[in-house]
Structure 1
C-alpha cells in the first residue's frame, strides 16, 4: 500500500508556514508600535470582544499568493470570520493596522464582501472593528474585479440584522464609509473618522490639517452626530457592543431577548418619582434620574448621550423586556425639539421599528425649538423626519405625558390620535395645547380673560381625559407598573 504521509507533511508544512505568517500580522516591530500607541492588534481585539475560543477565521490566507508574485500581505490586512458574543453567533472583521496601515487591497475587499454576505444570508449580527487607511494605493495598478462591493451589501444588510461599528484607531475612506451603515457607531477616545486624511485634504484643497481636526471622536459624538457613543478604553468599547447586542434580537423578525422573571424585573412602586418631577412646568429636572427609576435596575444604556441633548434616547429593560426609550430632557433647553435631537430620535426609532423593540415615549417639552438659529439649522425638516419615523413605527408604542406637551413637539413624540399607540398614559398635572399659554396668548393677541381661559384649559389632565386624548391618568408612583403591564399586553 502506498504511504502518502510524506506528501501530506510537505503540504501541511506549507500550510503551517502560511498560517503562521498570517497570524504574525505585520511582524514584531509593527505589533510593538501598535502596543506603544496603547492599542491592541486586530487579533487581540477579536479575542477580547468575543466569547473565549469561539472565533473561526475566514480568509486567513488571502493576500498570500499574489498573481504577479508580489510579496505576501498577511491576511491582506483584515482578520475576520464567525464567533460568539453572549453565547450567540455573529460575523465580524477587524482592520489590521500593522499590515500596510489596515488598507484595503483586492483580497481584503473580497473578504469584506464575503463576510457581509455571510451575515446577510445567515441572518447574523455584524461587527466591524475599524482601524485602517482606506483603499490601498497599489490598487490603481491592478484590474478591479467585477463584483458587488461590501458597501452595496451593507446597504442590503441594513435593518436585517444588528450592525455595530467600533472605531478603534484612525479610520479613513472606504472603511469609514462602511461604518455609516451601522445601527450603533462606537468611537474610542483618541480615535478619528473621516472620508479623506490630511495628505489628500492638502493635495485637493491646499489645507494643512490633522486627523484630530478632521474627525476627532469627541467632535463626531458631540457635534456632527456621525458616531453615537464615546468610550474611554477598548475594553469599554467591547463591553458597550456586547451589551447593545444583548438587548436586540439576532435578526429582523426574531424573538426579543426577554429575561425571565427575577428580582430585578418585578413590579414595584416608584415613590421617588414624586420627588424628581416638579409639577410646575417651568422647573427643570433630569430625565435620566426618572428613567433610572422606571427601568429594571442597572439596565439603562443611553444612546448618543452627547448629541441632541434636549432628548434622551436609551435602551433598557422594563419588566425584563428590552425597549427603546425616547424622552425629552427638561434639564436642557426645557426639552425643546432641536434639529440634532430629532435626527437622533429618528435613527433609533427606525432601528426599534426594524427589530421589533417596544417604543416608550416620555413627553415633557414646550414644542419645536424656535428662533433664527434653530431655523437655520433645519429644525423643521428634522422634526418632520422624526414625526415620520414614529408614524411608521408599528410595534408596541407606549406614550407617557409627564408634564407638558405643546404644538408639533407633542406630535413628534407620538401623542397623536389614531397613531397605533398601545396606551397613552398621563400624570395628573399635565399641560397640553397647540401653543403654551405663556407666550401663545400674546402671539395671538388674546386679552387677559382669554389668556386666563387658555391657561385654565391647559392645566391638568382632566380635559384631555374627558376628550380621550389620554387613555389612563395615573399617579407617578404607579408608572413603572403601568409600563410593565402595557408591555406585557
Structure 2
C-alpha cells in the first residue's frame, strides 16, 4: 500500500525548485529593482490580476535560470480569464532564452485556443547572448500575429525593452508605458557601436519619443497606474471576437447614469459660430454615461479623439474631431490613429460613435509631405469596411474627405446619421470656395447663404436620417444603439477583412 511519506523527498525537491524560481534574480537584484520605484515581475502580475487568481505555467523552465527570465500563466481580470506574461528584469535582464521563447509562444497559443485576452508586461533586453542554439523553433510573434483581431492583445512597457521583446508591443492592439518605460530596436550600446551616436535610453525610446511617434498609445505614471489602466481598457472588450461586449449591469451602474436624459449642456458648450473652438471632451462628458470614459492615444494625432465609453451601459468606441486642435482639421497622425482604433473596435464588435466637426483634411505642403492623403485613405478604408454598428452626428461642419472618413458618406452601412440644424457640409466651406473660384461678391453671398441652409436641404433629400436638437443627442444615439443591437441574433464571429489598407 502506498505511503504518503514515500512522496516526501520528491515533494521537497519540487518545493526547493519552486522557491528558487520565486526568488527570481536573487534578493540583491530584486531589492535594486524595487529601489527604482518599480514592481518586480511577480508583483506586477499580482497587481494586474484579481487577487489570488494567478496560475503559473512553465515555472520550472530554464532550469537554473529562474523561470528563464519570464513569468507566464493565466489569471482573472474583472472575473474574466486572461493569459499573461511578465518579463523578469532581475533575471538576466529579462532576456529571452530557448525555454522563455517557448513559454511566450505557449501563452499566445493558449490565448487564441481558449479565446481570451493576452497581456504582456515588458522589460527585457531581447534575445539572450549565449551559445545556445534555437534551431527551427516557433517564435512568439507568430502566435501573437494569429491572435490579432481574434482576442484582445495588450502590451505594457514598464522599463527598457529592446530587440525581439520590443516587437511584442507594436503588434499588440493597445500599448501603454510607464514613465520609466522605453522601447527601441536596439539599446544605446548597440546604437553607439553601429552608428557612433551617443544617446540615453530615454532619448532613444522613452515616453517623449514613443508616445509622440505613435509606437505607444498611453502613459501611466508608474507600474501601478499602468496595470490599473490595463484593467480599465479590457473592461470595455469581450473576451474574444467570438463574443459580444457585455452591458454594464444595472446594479453596478450609478443611479440613473445609464438612463435616457436630455443634453441641454451642449447648447452652452458648442457655439453656433463655426469659427469658435470648443473642447470635444466636454461633449463626451455630457453625452456618455459618465465622465470616466477612457481615451486611447491622447498624445498622438490630437486633432481626433479616440475613446472607449458607455452609452446606456453598452460599451462603445468613440471617434471625434477635436475643434481646439488645428480647428478640427484631420492630419496624417490623427487619421493613422483613428484607422487603427476603428479596426480594433470593429474586430471586437464595439459600436462606433462618430462626432464630426472639421473643415476637412489638413491642407498645406507640410501636411502633404506627411502623407495626409494616404493616411486619410487608410482611415476611410478602415471605417467603410467596418461591419460593426456605426452612429454618426455632424455637430457643426464636415467638409470634403473630412466628412467621408468620419462616416458621413451616404449608404455607408451606418445604423443612424444625425446632424444639428445649421450644420454645414460640402466639398469645402463657402469662404474657401469663393476664394478658389474668384467669386464675385454677389456669388460669394449666395454661397454663404447656401452653406447656412445646407443641413435643411440635405435632410430634405435624406442626406441625414434626422436633424436633431442638440438637447436630444444622447437620447437619439441611445435609441439608435438599442435598436441596432437587436441585430445580434446570431453568434459573434471574427471579422473577415476584405480591404487592403492604403
Q: Could you state the TM-score of these two structures normalised by the residue count of structure 2?
A: 0.94
Give the 5 Å matches for 1:161-200.
Answer: 161-200=151-190
Task: Give the SS at the match of 2:415.
Answer: strand
Match of residue 122 from structure 2 = 130
Quote the residue 2:260 is aligned against: 267
The reply on whether 1:468 has 2:465 as its aligned counterpart is no
For residues 16-31 of structure 1, the aligned pairs below 5 Å read 16-31=15-30
Confirm or deny: 8 A CA contact 2:38 2:222 kept in the other structure. no
**2-structure distance, mates of 1:75, 1:49:** 19
Q: Match for residue 108 of structure 1?
A: 100
Match for residue 487 of structure 1? 481
Name the structure 2 match of 1:45: 44
1:360-439 aligned at under 5 Å gives the runs 360-439=353-432
CA contact (8 A) 1:312 1:326 kept: yes
- Which whole-Å deviations, capped at 9, do the CAs of 1:311-342 have from their partners, x for residues lacking one? 11100001111111100000111110100000
What is the aligned partner in structure 1 of residue 194 from structure 2? 204
Displacement after TM superposition at 1:6 (Å): 4.6
Q: Distance in 1 between matches of 2:133 and 2:208?
A: 39
Instruction: Tell me which moved more, 51-60 or 225-234.
Output: 225-234
> What RMSD over aligned residues (CA atoms) do the two structures have, in Å?
1.1
Deviations 1:274-311 (A, max 9, x none): 00000111110000001100000133111111111111
Q: Secondary structure at the match of 2:478?
A: helix
1:402 partner SS: strand
Deviations 1:141-200 (A, max 9, x none): 222132321111111111101111111111111111011111110110121111100111
Contact 2:330 2:361 in 1 (8 A): yes
| TM alignment of 1:72-151, pairs within 5 A | 72-138=64-130, 141-151=131-141
- Give the equivalent residue in structure 1 for 2:492: none
Q: Partner of 2:247 in structure 1?
A: 258
1:340 pairs with 2:337: no
Gaps (5+ residues) in structure 2? Answer: 484-502
Question: Contact (CA 8 Å) 1:189, 1:218: kept in 2 or not?
Answer: no
Q: Which residue of 2 aligns with 1:354?
A: 347
Per the TM alignment, residue 251 of structure 1 is displaced from its structure 2 partner at its CA by 0.2
Cα distance in structure 2, aligned partners of 1:450 and 1:253: 56
Q: SS state of the match for residue 94, structure 1?
A: strand
Conserved in 2, the CA contact under 8 Å of 1:97 and 1:131? yes
SS in 1 for 2:167: helix
Kindly provide the CA deviation profile for residues 367-401 of structure 1, in whole angstroms up to 9, marking residues without a partner as x: 00000110111111000000000110111101100
Distance 2:199 2:416 in 1: 52
Listed one character per residue, the Cα deviations across residues 89-124 of structure 1 (whole Å, up to 9, x for unaligned) are 000000000000000011100100111101011101
Number of aligned residues = 478
- Out of 290, 312, 320, the position equivalent to 2:283 is 290
Under a length normalisation based on structure 1, what TM-score does the superposition of the two structures give? 0.96
Deviations 1:450-482 (A, max 9, x none): 222222221142111112111111111110111
User: Unpaired segments of 5 or more residues in structure 1?
Assistant: 65-71
